[in-house]
Amino acid sequence: MSTITLRVKSAPGFRVDASRLLPAALAPLSADDIARLALPAGNETCAAGDLFDVALTDSDTPELVIEGDAPWLDRLGAQLAAGRLEVRGAAGDYAGFGMSGGELHIEGDTGRFTGCEMSGGRITVAGNAGDFAAGALPGDMEGMTGGTLTIRGNAGARLADRMRRGLVIVGGDAGDFAASRIVAGTVCIAGRPGAHYAYGMRRGTLLLMQAPDRVPPTFTEGGHGFDVFWSLLARSLAREIAPFATLDAGAPPRRYTGDLAVDGRGELLIAQR
């Protein structure tokens, strides 16, 4: 096995599809083979060696490291099933799209559709994420169905839209329609949500660390007896990301259920501060 390091030479001036850059797929290849790898770029292709300097070092598990900002590099970690992919800079759209396993770590910002329709594995974004993170492609009925997506900065609009399973953690604010139309899963936001959060929510859990300006009128307050669940969730989140370390595991949050406009049975939790 080897660690493959791709150092960005310069921005190419066009968008590049990086879905072929997977740790397990590149591990058996030589540096020259990787440099010759053709990557889709619109209606054309370009060689990986035109975009990156390639270096290999021995390691026990397949690992791919991309050094440098690459906001033009889309689909990084798409369909990732095993191994580790680390981006030491920014990434483009569709990072971690459809991934089912492994780890994807992005030290900078990422574009739209981060973790879109992922079913397993772990994605960590140290910066901000664009719209539709953990959501569904336009026209599809299911967003994220498993795994963990952690965004340490802010998230864009439609966070976790149509989510069915998994865990989404946001250390900053979220855009409009956060946790809209979710069927199951858990979404935790340390900052403030935008307008129309939990719109069309059917099941699942949305936890807000900060009290919103208003609770949607289609949610009703009530529910007790979830002290054990809350204690476990609060302790788990405190280990994941710093803003949640202030949660009081012994002080259950205010609980609301909805969205009653769609006969929903989701729960909205607002932490006690």
Q: For residue range 72-122, what is the model confidence (pLDDT) as tens digits?
A: 999 999 999 999 999 999 999 999 999 999 999 999 999 999 999 999 999
Number of domains in the chain: 2
In sequence order, the 6+-apart residues with CB closer than 8 A to the CB of 168 are 115, 133, 134, 144, 148, 149, 150, 151, 159, 160, 185, 186, 187, 188
Asked if residue 44 and residue 84 are part of one domain, the reply reads no
- Annotate 91-135 with three-state secondary structure: CCCCCCCCCCCCEEEECCCECCCCCCCCCCCEEEECCCECCCCCC
β-pair type (266-270, 63-67):
unpaired
Distance in angstroms between the alpha carbons of the first and the last residue of the chain: 48
Cα separation, 107 vs 75, whole angstroms: 16
In sequence order, the 6+-apart residues with CB closer than 8 A to the CB of 204 are 163, 179, 182, 183, 184, 185, 186, 187, 266, 267
State pLDDT tens for residues 136-154. 999 999 999 999 999 999 9
Asked if residue 190 and residue 91 are part of one domain, the reply reads yes
Q: What pLDDT score was predicted for residue 60? A: 74
Cα separation, 252 vs 255, whole angstroms: 9
Assign 224 a pLDDT band (cuts: 50, 70, 90): confident
Considering 23-37, 99-113, 225-239, 241-255, the range whose residues carry the highest mean pLDDT is 99-113
Choose the final residue of a domain: 10, 41, 63: 63
Q: What pLDDT score was predicted for residue 170? A: 98
Asked if residue 188 and residue 92 are part of one domain, the reply reads yes
Assign 1 a pLDDT band (cuts: 50, 70, 90): low
Mean of per-residue pLDDT scores for the chain: 93
Token match 């070092």: residue? Answer: 57
For residue 161, is it within any domain? Answer: yes
Q: What pLDDT score was predicted for residue 92? A: 97
For residue 191, is it within any domain? Answer: yes
Asked if residue 80 and residue 55 are part of one domain, the reply reads no
For residue 105, is it within any domain? Answer: yes
Q: What pLDDT score was predicted for residue 59? A: 72
Asked if residue 85 and residue 45 are part of one domain, the reply reads no
CA dihedral of 269, 161, 125, 241, whole degrees rounded to 10: 10
Q: What is the CATH number of the domain that holds 86?
A: 2.160.20.60
Asked if residue 82 and residue 59 are part of one domain, the reply reads no
In the predicted model, is pLDDT for residue 2 greater than 80?
no
Cα separation, 161 vs 99, whole angstroms: 17
Asked if residue 216 and residue 245 are part of one domain, the reply reads yes
Average pLDDT over residues 263-267: 90
Which range marks the domain in which residue 10 is found?
A: 1-63
Choose the final residue of a domain: 31, 63, 95: 63
Asked if residue 186 and residue 120 are part of one domain, the reply reads yes
Cα separation, 149 vs 160, whole angstroms: 10
For residue 68, is it within any domain? Answer: no
Asked if residue 40 and residue 11 are part of one domain, the reply reads yes
For residue 70, is it within any domain? Answer: no
Contact 65, 83 (CB under 8 A): no
DSSP alpha helix (H) spans, 29-112:
31-36, 48-51
For residue 38, is it within any domain? Answer: yes
Q: What pLDDT score was predicted for residue 250? A: 84
Residues pairing with 125 in the sheet: 106, 151
In the predicted model, is pLDDT for residue 273 greater than 80?
no
| Among 255, 249, 265, CA closest to 222 | 255
Asked if residue 20 and residue 110 are part of one domain, the reply reads no
Considering 23-32, 42-51, 113-122, 262-271, the range whose residues carry the highest mean pLDDT is 113-122
For residue 265, is it within any domain? Answer: yes
Average pLDDT over residues 63-75: 96
- What CA–CA distances, in Å, run from 251 to 19, 105, 167, 234? 45, 33, 22, 10
State pLDDT tens for residues 165-190. 999 999 999 999 999 999 999 999 99
Assign 57 a pLDDT band (cuts: 50, 70, 90): confident
Choose the final residue of a domain: 15, 39, 63: 63
Average pLDDT over residues 253-258: 93
Cα separation, 97 vs 116, whole angstroms: 5
Q: What pLDDT score was predicted for residue 58? A: 78
Asked if residue 162 and residue 58 are part of one domain, the reply reads no
Asked if residue 231 and residue 168 are part of one domain, the reply reads yes
In the predicted model, is pLDDT for residue 52 greater than 80?
yes
Cα separation, 128 vs 130, whole angstroms: 7
For residue 69, is it within any domain? Answer: no
In the predicted model, is pLDDT for residue 18 greater than 80?
yes
